[in-house]
Amino acid sequence: MKRKIPEKLEKKYKLPKKLTEFQLSLYIHLIEWKWQNITKVPGIHNKKEYDAFLPLKTKNELYPLYRPIVDEIRKNHHFKSHKHFGHMASSQAACINLFTPILINEKVANNVMKKLNPDFNRIACEKLEKGFQFEYWDTDNPLNDHNDAAGTDSDFAIAYYNNNDELSLWLIEHKLSEDEFTTCGGYSSDGNIAK
């Protein structure tokens, strides 16, 4: 449930008017981290300054991405960044920061992902963008549900071989501070006969 931010906090951190308790604590943590590690300069959103946003120049340098993965992202991953990518609580940036350090190393990817999905055998590095893709859109239609109006998309996809050596696709919807998830119809699609 959203609540009005106390005026003292709203002024100190330049916060939006209403946040949940979780969002408030997360925003304050991320803003303080930004001030200590990136910049104290607020970003602009709807012509207003907010400390949770990064200035445009800093956003264009791919902050808030984890610095050791920036070259990997620039070189091998092509996706449209979300409108709020420069927000310290960007789910898109958080997803990239969470998965990229694991998946760029095939051995690490295989070890970690097997623990999360018992049917995961090995990452399919030759598929997608080195085995994974942010802002996945099924242009090749592997789930047989793509048409002119719709098709499966997700925040993140991992191509892998399962324990039967079948090529599989793991779709992940990733949220950091949003109130709800969007839905994915790929699994339930009539065109997806393999499930």
33 and 128: one domain?
no
34 and 78: one domain?
yes
Query: What is the tens place of the pLDDT at every residue in 39-79?
Result: 999 999 889 999 999 999 999 999 999 999 999 999 999 88
Residue with tokens 């979300």: 82
The token pair at 91 is 């789910």
194 and 106: one domain?
yes
123 and 29: one domain?
no
Q: Which residues pair with 136 in a beta bridge?
A: 154
Indicate the number of domains in the chain. 2
Of 66, 89, 112, the residue at which a domain comes to its end is 89
Query: What is the tens place of the pLDDT at every residue in 90-113?
Result: 999 999 999 999 999 999 999 999
Domain with 161, as residue range(s), is 90-195
55 and 137: one domain?
no
79 and 100: one domain?
no
> What band does 23 get if pLDDT is binned at 50, 70 and 90?
confident
138 and 174: one domain?
yes
Asked if 171 and 95 count as a contact pair (C-beta separation under 8 A), the reply is: no
> How many degrees, rounded to 5, is the angle at CA 19 between CA 94 and CA 179?
55
